[in-house]
Amino acid sequence: MTEPAALPRSLAGVVFDAYGTLFDLSAIAGGARDVLGDDTEPFALLWRRKQLEYTWLRALMGDYADFWQVTGESLDYALAAMGRDDAGLRARLMQRHMNVPVYPDVAPTLSALKARGLKTAILSNGSPTMLTAAVNAAELRKLLDHILSVDAVRSFKPHPTVYALAPAALHCEPLDIAFVSANAWDVAGAAHYGFRAVWLNRGKAPAERLPGRPALEIGSLAELAPALPG
């Protein structure tokens, strides 16, 4: 964990990315291991890569489609690339995206932040329907003040208009928000926008060579609350 010297002395709230940060994406394809077998991990990596690529490309093209559609289109690509034309498997994997499990340290972390009087929120590429379903399935709703979706601005991270949703909802300045993500590119975008970005680096990955550096790096969400000021 890096020292939190770059964080402000006080915060208005903590905003989290959803997928890969709070919600364990590996469990989606992992839940179909009985069908995918040895292809499970390569398939999951390909699907996730295409899912992100499609969001970035659609943002650049100015041709928005919500994350449910993008997720389905990237899944179709991954299934075709892996030679698996299976409508039943497709439906099963898409449904898993609606009730993807959370990491075990999520609820205790949110509870600790709420106990300190901090606002908590999700800011995600996910559509409102996807996010509401996942949050409700994980019984996190009472621990979150806001669930913010890119649908409101019809673009995707790391576009600044997406990050601007958080200070508008929390009625504060960007510097008053700690933004937590396990996606290094998202951390770069959030830091470049003006948040106090926290990189949840579970896999000890190298830093991205992009504008925007994290103010804090942690290895698990359990490290977050003790590292924050106040």
Residues belonging to the active site: 17
What distance in Å separates the CA atoms of residue 169 and residue 186, rounded to the nearest whole number?
A: 19
Query: Angle 185-62-150 (CA atoms, 0-180°, nearest 5)?
Result: 55
What CA dihedral angle connects 65, 210, 23 and 105, to 10 degrees? -160
Q: How is residue 67 annotated by DSSP?
A: H
* Region class of 117: left (phi > 0), else alpha (psi between -120 and 50), else beta: left
What distance in Å separates the CA atoms of residue 181 and residue 21, rounded to the nearest whole number?
A: 6
HSE-CB at 103 with a 13 A cutoff on CA atoms is 21
